[in-house]
Chain A
Amino acid sequence: MRNLLEFFIKYNYWFLFILLEVISFGLLFRFNSYQGSVYFTSANWLVGTVYEISDGVTSYFHLKSVNEDLMERNIYLEQQVSALREAFIKTTRDTTWVDEIQRSVLKDFTILKADVINNSINRANNYITLNRGEKDGIRSEMGVINGNGVVGIVYLTASHHSIVIPVLNSKSSISCKVKNSDYFGYLKWDGEDSRYAYLMDLPRHSVCEKGDTIVTSGFTSIFPSGIMVGTVEDITDSHDGLSYLLKVKLSTDFGKLNDVRVIARKDMAEQKELEQKIRK
Chain B
Amino acid sequence: MAIVFFKRLGWFWLLVFIQVLVLNHVHLMGYAMPFLYVYLILVLNINVSRNILLLWGFFLGLAVDIFSNTPGMNAAATTFLAFMRPSILRLFTPRDCAEDMEPGIRSMGFWLFFRYVLVEVALHHTVLLTIESFSFFNLGFLFLEILSSVLLTTFCVMAIEGIRKK
Contacts and interface: CB of A to CB of B under 8 A. Distances in A.
B136 A28 contact: no
Q: Is the interface of B mostly helix, strand, loop or mixed?
A: helix
B141 interface: yes
Nearest to A156: B69
Given A41-B71, A120-B24, A190-B136, A47 B66 contact: yes
Contact of B51 (A12, A37, A191): A12
Nearest to A189: B136
B66 A44 contact: yes
B135 A191 contact: yes
Contact of A27 (B49, B72, B80, B132): B72
Interface in B68-87: 68-73, 75-76, 79-80, 83
Interface stretch (B25-33, B104-112, B113-121): B25-33
Contact of A124 (B17, B24, B136): B136
A118 B50 CA distance: 35
B33 A122 contact: yes
Interface residues of A, number: 38
B157 interface: no
Given A28-B71, A40-B71, A41-B71, A21 B66 contact: no
A26 interface: yes
B2 interface: no
Contacts of B70: 123, 125
Contacts of B66: 40-42, 44, 47
B71 A13 contact: no
B75 A23 contact: yes
Contacts of B138: 191
Interface residues of B, number: 37
Nearest to B22: A54
A132 B47 CA distance: 47
B69 A42 contact: yes
Nearest to B32: A122
B72 A127 contact: no
A210 to B, nearest CB: 24
Interface string A86-126: 00000000000000000000000000000000101111110
A167 to B, nearest CB: 14
A3 B51 CA distance: 21
B25 A191 contact: no
B54 A124 contact: no
A138 to B, nearest CB: 17
Given A40-B65, A40-B66, A170-B136, A26 B79 contact: no
9 contacts: A13-B83, A16-B54, A17-B79, A31-B72, A42-B67, A44-B66, A124-B132, A163-B69, A170-B136
Interface of B: 17, 21, 24-25, 27, 30, 33, 49-51, 54-55, 57-58, 61-62, 65-73, 75-76, 79-80, 83, 131-133, 135-136, 138, 141
Nearest first, the 8 A-B pairs at minimum CB distance are: A28-B72, A27-B72, A191-B136, A24-B76, A122-B27, A170-B135, A13-B50, A127-B69
Interface of A: 12-13, 16-17, 20-21, 23-29, 31, 37, 40-42, 44, 47, 50-51, 54, 118, 120-125, 127, 129, 163, 170, 190-193
Given A23-B75, A163-B69, 14 more contacts: A21-B79, A24-B75, A24-B79, A28-B76, A29-B72, A37-B71, A40-B65, A41-B69, A42-B66, A42-B68, A122-B27, A124-B133, A124-B135, A191-B141
